[in-house]
Structure 1
Amino acid sequence: MAERPDPPAAWVDRIDAVLDALPECTRVPAWTGTSWKVGAATVAHVFGGEDQLIRLVVRAEPDEVMALQHLGPPYFKASWGTNVVGIVLDEATDWDEVAELLTDSYCVQAPTHLADAVERPAARLHP
């Protein structure tokens, strides 16, 4: 079985900078990589795969999941959960897009009173 690489610390820090600014969102160690939670709900998980690719999985509204899934790489629909979507991170990653995905994921997972306090990115469904 191949080893799973650790996500680059700079990438974890970029994700953390977005999520740490959101109410009651905490960084926690995961079975592999790093996760962020609001309460018991996972907002994001970044990890290295046995294929040596680094992935970030988040939660999204159903229409956003479908839009991202249809875009194809670097986006993918996770094999678990109906609202789980991911992006393969690499040197060409659009970190502004990642910040929007993270904020949306937080708002999907957080209790309403916390999510309502967050300025959410405008609807940006992809063509």
Structure 2
Amino acid sequence: MNRSQSEAVTEHLRSICLGLPEAVEKEAWGDATFRVRDKIFAMVKTGDGRVSVWCKAPPGSQQVLVGADPDTFFVPPYVGPKGWIGMRLDRGPDWDEVDAIVRRSYRLVLPKRLAAMIEQTSRGRD
């Protein structure tokens, strides 16, 4: 994957992450991280020459995802032992799946008060 492709993939991921309430981007460890109230829910990783996203996952998800599709999903270093999942984005990812994984990670780190406020706001739109 060349630099412009890598930037396009990162930009697509950025649009997903920053579309979530109160999400912000902050660079850390040389790559973009996405946070809600300073809790990281997604990290772009490019250090190994591939573009991937690392996200928090619920208990058991890591084993299921890696077992089902080890070409796409992997256990990332450092945060993998805490249950985080890595997803390769350099092979034409299924963006709906990326979106679902990012949103799930976001909900896992979302502070309860903000979650309640978002829930109340979304009920008001229905």
Per the TM superposition, whether the score is higher than 0.5 is yes
Matches within 5 A, 1:5-44: 8-44=6-42
The residue aligned with 1:65 is 62
CA distance in 2, matches of 1:36, 1:104: 13
Rounded Cα–Cα distance in structure 2 between residues aligned with 1:64 and 1:115: 22
Structure 1: runs of 5+ lacking an equivalent: 120-127
1:12-51 CA-partner distances (Å, limit 9, x unpaired): 221121121212110111222211011221111112133x
C-alpha change, 1:69 and 1:22, in structure 2 (3 Å) is same
Point out the more displaced range, 10-19 or 52-61: 10-19
Partners of 1:115 and 1:53 in 2: CA distance: 33
TM-score, structure 1 as length reference: 0.77
Q: Which contiguous aligned blocks of 4+ residues in structure 1 show a shift greater than 3 angstroms?
A: none
Computing the radius of gyration from Cα coordinates, the structure with the larger value is 2
Of stretches 74-83 and 28-37 in structure 1, the one that deviates more from structure 2 is: 74-83
Inter-partner Cα distance in structure 1 for 2:4 and 2:100: 23
Maintained 8 Å contact 1:59/1:84: yes
| Number of the residue aligned with 2:89 | 89
Structure 1: distance between partners of 2:97 and 2:31? 21
The whole-number CA distance in structure 2 between the counterparts of 1:7 and 1:83 is: 29
The structure where helix makes up a greater share of residues is: 2
Question: Alignment RMSD, CA only?
Answer: 2.2
* 1:6–1:48 contact (8 Å) kept in structure 2: no
Which letter maps to 1:67?
V
- Percent identical residues: 24
For normalisation by structure 2, the TM-score amounts to 0.78
- Partners in 1 of 2:28 and 2:43 — Cα distance? 8
